[in-house]
Amino acid sequence: MQSTSPSTSPPEAFPAQTPAVAEIFTTVLSHGPLTRSEVAERTSLSAAAVTKAVRPLIAAGYLAEDAVDARRALGRPANPVRVDAGRALFVGIKATGDELIGVLADLCCRIRVARHLPLTDPDPRSVLARIAELVRELRTEAEGLGVPVLGLGLAVSGDVDRAEGTVRYSPFLGWRDVALGELAHAVSGLPVTVENDVRALTVAEQWFGAGVGLSDFALVTVGAGIGCGLVVHGKVVAGAHGVAGEIGHIAIDPAGPVCRCGNRGCVEAIAADRAIVDRITGTTGIAVTDAAHAVDLARRGVPGVREVYAAAGEAIGRGIATVANLFGPQRVIISGEGLAAYDLFADQIRGTFAAYAFGSAARCDVRTRALPFEEWARGAAATAIQSFIRSDIHQQRSHGAAARA
Protein backbone atom coordinates (compact mmCIF):
# COMPACT_ATOMS: atom_id res chain seq x y z
CA MET A 1 0.00 0.00 0.00
CA GLN A 2 1.45 3.37 -0.97
CA SER A 3 1.74 6.12 1.63
CA THR A 4 -1.01 8.72 1.66
CA SER A 5 0.12 11.03 4.46
CA PRO A 6 0.96 14.50 3.13
CA SER A 7 4.41 15.95 3.62
CA THR A 8 4.58 19.34 5.27
CA SER A 9 7.90 20.43 3.75
CA PRO A 10 8.29 21.44 0.13
CA PRO A 11 9.62 18.59 -1.99
CA GLU A 12 13.17 18.66 -3.22
CA ALA A 13 13.63 18.67 -6.96
CA PHE A 14 13.09 15.32 -8.62
CA PRO A 15 16.48 13.64 -9.15
CA ALA A 16 18.14 13.83 -12.54
CA GLN A 17 15.61 12.36 -14.95
CA THR A 18 17.69 9.75 -16.70
CA PRO A 19 15.81 6.93 -18.46
CA ALA A 20 16.85 4.55 -15.66
CA VAL A 21 15.52 6.82 -12.89
CA ALA A 22 12.25 7.35 -14.73
CA GLU A 23 11.82 3.61 -15.39
CA ILE A 24 12.62 2.62 -11.83
CA PHE A 25 10.33 5.22 -10.30
CA THR A 26 7.49 4.32 -12.67
CA THR A 27 7.93 0.63 -11.86
CA VAL A 28 7.66 1.26 -8.13
CA LEU A 29 4.74 3.62 -8.77
CA SER A 30 2.75 0.95 -10.63
CA HIS A 31 3.84 -2.20 -8.79
CA GLY A 32 5.27 -1.15 -5.42
CA PRO A 33 6.19 -1.66 -2.73
CA LEU A 34 9.09 -3.60 -4.22
CA THR A 35 12.49 -4.66 -3.00
CA ARG A 36 15.48 -3.48 -4.98
CA SER A 37 15.99 -6.97 -6.37
CA GLU A 38 12.34 -7.05 -7.50
CA VAL A 39 12.81 -3.69 -9.21
CA ALA A 40 15.91 -5.02 -10.96
CA GLU A 41 14.03 -8.10 -12.11
CA ARG A 42 11.09 -6.09 -13.49
CA THR A 43 13.26 -3.49 -15.26
CA SER A 44 16.08 -5.83 -16.39
CA LEU A 45 18.53 -3.34 -14.90
CA SER A 46 21.49 -4.36 -12.79
CA ALA A 47 21.25 -4.33 -9.01
CA ALA A 48 23.95 -1.65 -8.95
CA ALA A 49 21.97 0.57 -11.35
CA VAL A 50 18.83 0.19 -9.24
CA THR A 51 20.66 1.02 -6.01
CA LYS A 52 22.28 4.06 -7.64
CA ALA A 53 18.89 5.36 -8.85
CA VAL A 54 16.92 4.58 -5.68
CA ARG A 55 19.32 6.36 -3.31
CA PRO A 56 18.66 9.95 -4.53
CA LEU A 57 14.92 9.23 -4.87
CA ILE A 58 14.82 8.30 -1.19
CA ALA A 59 16.99 11.29 -0.24
CA ALA A 60 14.61 13.64 -2.09
CA GLY A 61 11.58 12.09 -0.41
CA TYR A 62 9.91 10.63 -3.49
CA LEU A 63 10.56 7.05 -2.41
CA ALA A 64 10.34 5.75 1.13
CA GLU A 65 11.87 2.59 2.55
CA ASP A 66 9.83 0.22 4.67
CA ALA A 67 11.64 -1.69 7.38
CA VAL A 68 11.41 -5.48 7.41
CA ASP A 69 11.58 -7.44 10.64
CA ALA A 70 14.97 -9.12 10.35
CA ARG A 71 13.84 -11.89 12.68
CA ARG A 72 11.17 -12.94 10.16
CA ALA A 73 13.35 -12.56 7.07
CA LEU A 74 15.38 -15.40 5.62
CA GLY A 75 18.97 -14.41 5.13
CA ARG A 76 19.75 -10.73 4.67
CA PRO A 77 16.53 -8.68 5.02
CA ALA A 78 15.45 -6.73 1.93
CA ASN A 79 13.59 -3.53 2.65
CA PRO A 80 10.89 -2.70 0.09
CA VAL A 81 10.62 0.79 -1.32
CA ARG A 82 7.38 2.59 -2.17
CA VAL A 83 6.33 5.95 -3.56
CA ASP A 84 5.50 8.58 -0.94
CA ALA A 85 2.15 9.54 -2.45
CA GLY A 86 1.80 12.63 -0.28
CA ARG A 87 5.04 14.18 -1.47
CA ALA A 88 3.39 16.18 -4.28
CA LEU A 89 0.01 16.92 -5.84
CA PHE A 90 -1.11 17.38 -9.45
CA VAL A 91 -4.20 18.90 -11.05
CA GLY A 92 -5.95 17.06 -13.84
CA ILE A 93 -8.77 18.58 -15.91
CA LYS A 94 -10.96 16.87 -18.50
CA ALA A 95 -12.81 19.20 -20.87
CA THR A 96 -16.08 18.10 -22.45
CA GLY A 97 -18.34 20.17 -24.69
CA ASP A 98 -20.24 21.58 -21.72
CA GLU A 99 -18.21 20.93 -18.58
CA LEU A 100 -14.79 20.92 -16.94
CA ILE A 101 -14.08 18.08 -14.53
CA GLY A 102 -11.08 18.72 -12.31
CA VAL A 103 -9.27 16.58 -9.76
CA LEU A 104 -6.46 17.07 -7.29
CA ALA A 105 -4.41 13.87 -7.32
CA ASP A 106 -1.45 12.73 -5.25
CA LEU A 107 1.76 11.30 -6.63
CA CYS A 108 0.15 7.85 -6.88
CA CYS A 109 -2.67 9.48 -8.86
CA ARG A 110 -5.29 8.91 -6.20
CA ILE A 111 -8.00 11.55 -6.26
CA ARG A 112 -8.04 13.75 -3.16
CA VAL A 113 -10.57 16.33 -4.38
CA ALA A 114 -12.91 16.52 -7.39
CA ARG A 115 -14.71 19.56 -8.80
CA HIS A 116 -17.07 20.24 -11.74
CA LEU A 117 -17.53 23.58 -13.52
CA PRO A 118 -20.06 24.12 -16.31
CA LEU A 119 -18.96 25.50 -19.68
CA THR A 120 -21.47 27.80 -21.32
CA ASP A 121 -19.15 29.16 -24.01
CA PRO A 122 -16.68 26.95 -25.95
CA ASP A 123 -14.56 29.93 -27.04
CA PRO A 124 -10.95 29.19 -25.98
CA ARG A 125 -10.69 32.40 -23.96
CA SER A 126 -13.81 31.56 -22.00
CA VAL A 127 -12.69 27.98 -21.41
CA LEU A 128 -9.26 29.19 -20.35
CA ALA A 129 -10.83 31.51 -17.77
CA ARG A 130 -12.81 28.58 -16.35
CA ILE A 131 -9.65 26.42 -16.30
CA ALA A 132 -7.87 29.15 -14.32
CA GLU A 133 -10.79 29.31 -11.90
CA LEU A 134 -10.81 25.56 -11.40
CA VAL A 135 -7.04 25.43 -10.89
CA ARG A 136 -7.30 28.17 -8.22
CA GLU A 137 -9.97 26.19 -6.38
CA LEU A 138 -7.91 23.02 -6.41
CA ARG A 139 -4.70 24.78 -5.39
CA THR A 140 -6.55 26.26 -2.42
CA GLU A 141 -7.49 22.70 -1.44
CA ALA A 142 -3.83 21.71 -1.82
CA GLU A 143 -2.76 24.52 0.51
CA GLY A 144 -5.07 23.07 3.12
CA LEU A 145 -3.26 19.74 2.77
CA GLY A 146 0.12 21.41 3.04
CA VAL A 147 1.37 19.89 -0.20
CA PRO A 148 2.52 21.80 -3.31
CA VAL A 149 0.98 21.33 -6.75
CA LEU A 150 3.72 20.52 -9.24
CA GLY A 151 1.89 20.14 -12.53
CA LEU A 152 -1.32 20.52 -14.51
CA GLY A 153 -2.66 18.00 -17.01
CA LEU A 154 -5.38 18.89 -19.52
CA ALA A 155 -7.31 16.23 -21.43
CA VAL A 156 -9.21 17.27 -24.57
CA SER A 157 -10.91 15.16 -27.22
CA GLY A 158 -9.68 15.21 -30.79
CA ASP A 159 -6.33 15.75 -32.48
CA VAL A 160 -3.86 16.88 -29.80
CA ASP A 161 -0.13 17.47 -30.21
CA ARG A 162 1.27 16.74 -26.76
CA ALA A 163 4.83 17.77 -27.63
CA GLU A 164 3.66 21.25 -28.69
CA GLY A 165 0.82 21.52 -26.18
CA THR A 166 -1.53 22.32 -29.05
CA VAL A 167 -5.10 21.24 -29.74
CA ARG A 168 -5.09 20.89 -33.52
CA TYR A 169 -8.77 20.02 -33.75
CA SER A 170 -11.40 19.25 -31.12
CA PRO A 171 -14.83 18.59 -32.64
CA PHE A 172 -16.81 18.82 -29.41
CA LEU A 173 -15.29 22.20 -28.53
CA GLY A 174 -15.04 23.40 -32.14
CA TRP A 175 -11.35 24.30 -31.68
CA ARG A 176 -8.61 24.44 -34.28
CA ASP A 177 -4.93 25.12 -33.58
CA VAL A 178 -5.30 26.33 -29.98
CA ALA A 179 -1.97 26.63 -28.11
CA LEU A 180 -3.61 25.40 -24.92
CA GLY A 181 -0.41 24.43 -23.09
CA GLU A 182 1.16 27.85 -23.46
CA LEU A 183 -2.07 29.66 -22.58
CA ALA A 184 -2.80 27.48 -19.54
CA HIS A 185 0.77 27.88 -18.28
CA ALA A 186 0.39 31.66 -18.50
CA VAL A 187 -2.74 31.69 -16.32
CA SER A 188 -1.74 28.95 -13.88
CA GLY A 189 2.02 29.30 -13.52
CA LEU A 190 2.26 25.49 -13.57
CA PRO A 191 4.03 23.18 -15.98
CA VAL A 192 1.24 22.03 -18.33
CA THR A 193 0.74 18.80 -20.23
CA VAL A 194 -1.97 18.71 -22.92
CA GLU A 195 -3.06 15.31 -24.17
CA ASN A 196 -5.86 13.65 -26.10
CA ASP A 197 -8.42 12.54 -23.52
CA VAL A 198 -8.45 8.86 -24.52
CA ARG A 199 -4.65 8.65 -24.47
CA ALA A 200 -4.62 10.34 -21.07
CA LEU A 201 -7.08 7.78 -19.75
CA THR A 202 -4.89 5.06 -21.28
CA VAL A 203 -1.87 6.33 -19.32
CA ALA A 204 -3.86 6.06 -16.09
CA GLU A 205 -5.01 2.54 -16.95
CA GLN A 206 -1.46 1.51 -17.88
CA TRP A 207 0.04 2.76 -14.61
CA PHE A 208 -2.78 2.31 -12.13
CA GLY A 209 -5.68 0.38 -13.68
CA ALA A 210 -6.60 -2.63 -15.78
CA GLY A 211 -3.47 -2.32 -17.93
CA VAL A 212 -0.90 -2.63 -15.14
CA GLY A 213 1.68 -5.26 -16.04
CA LEU A 214 0.56 -5.57 -19.69
CA SER A 215 2.95 -4.74 -22.52
CA ASP A 216 0.20 -4.55 -25.17
CA PHE A 217 -3.41 -3.52 -24.62
CA ALA A 218 -6.11 -1.27 -26.04
CA LEU A 219 -8.63 0.96 -24.29
CA VAL A 220 -11.80 1.49 -26.34
CA THR A 221 -14.18 4.23 -25.20
CA VAL A 222 -17.81 4.42 -26.24
CA GLY A 223 -20.15 7.34 -25.72
CA ALA A 224 -20.15 10.79 -27.30
CA GLY A 225 -17.42 9.45 -29.57
CA ILE A 226 -15.70 6.14 -30.18
CA GLY A 227 -12.05 6.34 -29.21
CA CYS A 228 -9.13 3.99 -28.72
CA GLY A 229 -5.87 4.27 -26.81
CA LEU A 230 -3.10 1.84 -27.74
CA VAL A 231 -0.21 0.55 -25.66
CA VAL A 232 2.39 -1.30 -27.74
CA HIS A 233 5.52 -2.76 -26.15
CA GLY A 234 4.80 -0.79 -22.99
CA LYS A 235 4.36 2.60 -24.63
CA VAL A 236 1.23 4.63 -25.34
CA VAL A 237 1.18 5.11 -29.10
CA ALA A 238 0.25 8.44 -30.69
CA GLY A 239 1.58 7.72 -34.17
CA ALA A 240 3.58 9.94 -36.48
CA HIS A 241 0.70 12.40 -36.82
CA GLY A 242 -0.88 12.01 -33.36
CA VAL A 243 -4.06 10.21 -34.44
CA ALA A 244 -3.20 6.54 -33.84
CA GLY A 245 -6.14 4.53 -32.55
CA GLU A 246 -8.96 6.42 -34.26
CA ILE A 247 -11.16 3.34 -34.62
CA GLY A 248 -14.22 5.58 -34.53
CA HIS A 249 -13.35 6.56 -38.10
CA ILE A 250 -12.90 3.09 -39.53
CA ALA A 251 -15.47 2.95 -42.33
CA ILE A 252 -17.44 -0.32 -42.13
CA ASP A 253 -20.46 0.54 -44.29
CA PRO A 254 -19.94 2.58 -47.48
CA ALA A 255 -23.71 3.15 -47.67
CA GLY A 256 -24.01 4.05 -43.99
CA PRO A 257 -24.77 7.42 -42.38
CA VAL A 258 -22.50 10.41 -42.93
CA CYS A 259 -19.95 10.84 -40.16
CA ARG A 260 -18.88 14.21 -38.77
CA CYS A 261 -15.50 13.52 -40.39
CA GLY A 262 -17.20 13.65 -43.82
CA ASN A 263 -17.00 9.94 -44.64
CA ARG A 264 -19.85 7.43 -44.65
CA GLY A 265 -20.40 4.44 -42.42
CA CYS A 266 -17.71 5.09 -39.80
CA VAL A 267 -18.03 3.18 -36.52
CA GLU A 268 -18.74 6.49 -34.77
CA ALA A 269 -21.48 7.39 -37.25
CA ILE A 270 -23.29 4.21 -36.24
CA ALA A 271 -22.38 3.69 -32.58
CA ALA A 272 -21.76 7.08 -30.93
CA ASP A 273 -24.48 8.40 -28.62
CA ARG A 274 -25.67 11.09 -31.05
CA ALA A 275 -25.77 8.62 -33.93
CA ILE A 276 -27.91 6.23 -31.86
CA VAL A 277 -30.25 9.04 -30.77
CA ASP A 278 -30.67 10.29 -34.35
CA ARG A 279 -31.30 6.84 -35.75
CA ILE A 280 -33.89 6.01 -33.08
CA THR A 281 -35.64 9.30 -33.77
CA GLY A 282 -35.72 8.53 -37.48
CA THR A 283 -36.83 4.94 -36.95
CA THR A 284 -39.56 5.51 -34.37
CA GLY A 285 -40.66 9.08 -34.99
CA ILE A 286 -40.12 9.79 -31.29
CA ALA A 287 -38.19 12.97 -30.53
CA VAL A 288 -35.38 11.34 -28.52
CA THR A 289 -33.72 13.96 -26.32
CA ASP A 290 -30.47 12.27 -25.29
CA ALA A 291 -28.69 8.96 -24.70
CA ALA A 292 -30.47 8.35 -21.39
CA HIS A 293 -33.83 8.76 -23.12
CA ALA A 294 -32.74 6.30 -25.84
CA VAL A 295 -31.70 3.72 -23.24
CA ASP A 296 -35.04 4.11 -21.47
CA LEU A 297 -36.93 3.49 -24.73
CA ALA A 298 -34.89 0.37 -25.41
CA ARG A 299 -35.50 -1.06 -21.97
CA ARG A 300 -39.21 -0.36 -22.25
CA GLY A 301 -39.27 -2.42 -25.43
CA VAL A 302 -40.25 0.31 -27.88
CA PRO A 303 -40.25 -1.36 -31.32
CA GLY A 304 -37.17 -0.72 -33.45
CA VAL A 305 -34.98 0.69 -30.68
CA ARG A 306 -33.09 -2.44 -29.70
CA GLU A 307 -32.25 -3.01 -33.36
CA VAL A 308 -30.43 0.33 -33.38
CA TYR A 309 -28.36 -0.74 -30.38
CA ALA A 310 -27.68 -4.10 -32.01
CA ALA A 311 -26.28 -2.33 -35.08
CA ALA A 312 -24.15 -0.13 -32.81
CA GLY A 313 -22.80 -3.20 -31.04
CA GLU A 314 -21.89 -4.84 -34.33
CA ALA A 315 -20.04 -1.69 -35.44
CA ILE A 316 -18.07 -1.53 -32.18
CA GLY A 317 -17.29 -5.25 -32.38
CA ARG A 318 -15.90 -4.83 -35.90
CA GLY A 319 -13.79 -1.88 -34.76
CA ILE A 320 -12.36 -3.87 -31.85
CA ALA A 321 -11.67 -6.85 -34.12
CA THR A 322 -9.75 -4.55 -36.47
CA VAL A 323 -7.59 -3.36 -33.57
CA ALA A 324 -6.98 -6.97 -32.44
CA ASN A 325 -6.07 -8.08 -35.96
CA LEU A 326 -3.64 -5.21 -36.47
CA PHE A 327 -1.54 -5.51 -33.31
CA GLY A 328 -2.77 -8.44 -31.22
CA PRO A 329 -3.24 -6.88 -27.76
CA GLN A 330 -3.32 -9.01 -24.64
CA ARG A 331 -6.45 -7.18 -23.51
CA VAL A 332 -9.09 -4.77 -24.79
CA ILE A 333 -10.75 -2.65 -22.12
CA ILE A 334 -14.13 -1.16 -23.07
CA SER A 335 -15.10 1.95 -21.14
CA GLY A 336 -16.75 5.34 -21.51
CA GLU A 337 -20.09 6.86 -20.63
CA GLY A 338 -21.73 4.63 -23.25
CA LEU A 339 -21.32 1.67 -20.88
CA ALA A 340 -24.65 2.72 -19.36
CA ALA A 341 -26.20 0.97 -22.37
CA TYR A 342 -23.75 -1.93 -22.47
CA ASP A 343 -26.36 -4.58 -21.69
CA LEU A 344 -28.23 -3.50 -24.83
CA PHE A 345 -25.38 -4.33 -27.22
CA ALA A 346 -22.90 -6.50 -25.28
CA ASP A 347 -23.86 -9.68 -27.13
CA GLN A 348 -23.43 -8.01 -30.51
CA ILE A 349 -20.04 -6.55 -29.55
CA ARG A 350 -18.70 -9.90 -28.41
CA GLY A 351 -20.30 -11.92 -31.19
CA THR A 352 -19.08 -9.62 -33.95
CA PHE A 353 -15.62 -9.42 -32.41
CA ALA A 354 -15.40 -13.23 -32.37
CA ALA A 355 -16.59 -13.41 -35.99
CA TYR A 356 -14.12 -10.85 -37.37
CA ALA A 357 -11.05 -11.41 -35.18
CA PHE A 358 -8.51 -13.47 -37.11
CA GLY A 359 -7.11 -16.66 -35.61
CA SER A 360 -5.52 -16.27 -32.20
CA ALA A 361 -6.45 -12.56 -32.10
CA ALA A 362 -9.85 -13.80 -30.92
CA ARG A 363 -8.17 -15.00 -27.71
CA CYS A 364 -7.75 -11.38 -26.64
CA ASP A 365 -9.23 -10.71 -23.19
CA VAL A 366 -12.14 -8.30 -23.79
CA ARG A 367 -13.51 -6.75 -20.63
CA THR A 368 -15.50 -3.72 -19.52
CA ARG A 369 -14.47 -1.13 -16.94
CA ALA A 370 -16.76 1.68 -15.84
CA LEU A 371 -14.77 4.91 -15.63
CA PRO A 372 -16.71 8.10 -14.75
CA PHE A 373 -15.48 11.47 -15.99
CA GLU A 374 -13.54 12.00 -12.74
CA GLU A 375 -11.36 9.11 -13.92
CA TRP A 376 -10.75 10.89 -17.22
CA ALA A 377 -9.59 13.92 -15.23
CA ARG A 378 -7.41 11.54 -13.24
CA GLY A 379 -5.96 10.48 -16.58
CA ALA A 380 -5.03 14.11 -17.22
CA ALA A 381 -3.32 14.20 -13.82
CA ALA A 382 -1.47 10.98 -14.75
CA THR A 383 0.00 12.69 -17.82
CA ALA A 384 1.17 15.57 -15.61
CA ILE A 385 2.84 13.05 -13.27
CA GLN A 386 4.36 11.33 -16.28
CA SER A 387 5.80 14.62 -17.55
CA PHE A 388 7.12 15.44 -14.07
CA ILE A 389 8.91 12.09 -13.85
CA ARG A 390 10.25 12.15 -17.40
CA SER A 391 10.79 15.90 -17.64
CA ASP A 392 9.31 15.96 -21.16
CA ILE A 393 7.27 19.02 -20.20
CA HIS A 394 10.44 21.09 -20.41
CA GLN A 395 10.98 19.83 -23.95
CA GLN A 396 7.37 20.72 -24.77
CA ARG A 397 7.76 24.30 -23.61
CA SER A 398 11.08 24.71 -25.43
CA HIS A 399 9.50 23.36 -28.62
CA GLY A 400 6.70 25.87 -28.26
CA ALA A 401 9.17 28.70 -27.72
CA ALA A 402 11.15 27.63 -30.79
CA ALA A 403 7.97 27.57 -32.87
CA ARG A 404 7.13 31.12 -31.81
CA ALA A 405 10.65 32.45 -32.37
Q: Kindly report the CATH class assigned to 88-202+374-404.
A: alpha beta
Residue range 63-77, pLDDT digits in tens: 999 876 554 455 545
- End-to-end alpha carbon distance in the chain: 47
**What is the average per-residue pLDDT within 296-318?**
96
Dist CA 88 CA 84 (whole Å): 9
Residue 31 has pLDDT above 90, yes or no: yes
Q: How far is CA 142 from the centre of its chain?
A: 23
Fold of 19-86: Arc Repressor Mutant, subunit A (1.10.10)
pLDDT of 197-230, one tens digit each? 999 999 999 999 999 999 999 999 999 999 999 9
405 pLDDT band, cuts 50/70/90, is: very low
Burial of 164 (0-12, 13-18, 19+ CB in 10 A): buried
pLDDT band at 12 (very low <50, low <70, confident <90, very high): low
What mean pLDDT value characterizes the chain?
A: 89
What pLDDT is attached to residue 32? Answer: 87
Q: According to the model, what pLDDT value does residue 166 have?
A: 96
**347 contacts: CB under 8 Å, gap ≥ 6:** 313
3-state secondary structure the chain: CCECCCCCCCCCCCCCCCHHHHHHHHHHHHHCCECHHHHHHHHCCCHHHHHHHHHHHHHCCCEEECCCCCCCCCCCCCCCEEEEHHHCEEEEEEECCCEEEEEEEECCCCEEEEEEEECCCCCHHHHHHHHHHHHHHHHHHHHHHCCCEEEEEEEECCEEECCCCEEEEECCCCEEEECHHHHHHHHHCCCEEEEEHHHHHHHHHHHHCCCCCCCCEEEEEECCCEEEEEEECCEEECCCCCCCCCHHHCECCCCCCECCCCCECEHHHHHCHHHHHHHHHHHHCCCCCCHHHHHHHHHCCCCCHHHHHHHHHHHHHHHHHHHHHHHCCCEEEEECHHHHHHHHHHHHHHHHHHHHCCHHHHHCEEEECCCCHHHHHHHHHHHHHHHHHHCHHHHHHHHHHHHHC
Please tell us whether the domain made up of 213-368 is placed in CATH 3.40.50.2000.
no
Phi and psi at residue 70, in whole multiples of 5°?
Answer: -60, -30
Q: Would you say 270 and 277 are in contact if contact means Cβ atoms under 8 Å apart?
A: no
For the residues 130-141, what does the mean pLDDT come to?
97
| pLDDT of 244 | 84
* Domain 19-86 matches domain 213-368 at the CATH topology level: no
Between CA 250 and CA 267 the distance in angstroms is 6
For the chain, what are the domain ranges?
19-86, 88-202+374-404, 213-368
**Closest C-alpha among 313, 388, 324, 380 to residue 351:** 313
Burial code (b: 16+ CB inside 10 Å, e: under 16) for 76-104 equals eeeebbbbbbbbbbbbbbbbbeeebbbbb
Average pLDDT over residues 32-52: 93
| Contact yes or no for 252/315 (Cβ under 8 A) | yes
Kindly report whether the global pTM for this prediction surpasses the value 0.75. Answer: yes
- How distant is the alpha carbon of residue 177 from its chain centre? 22
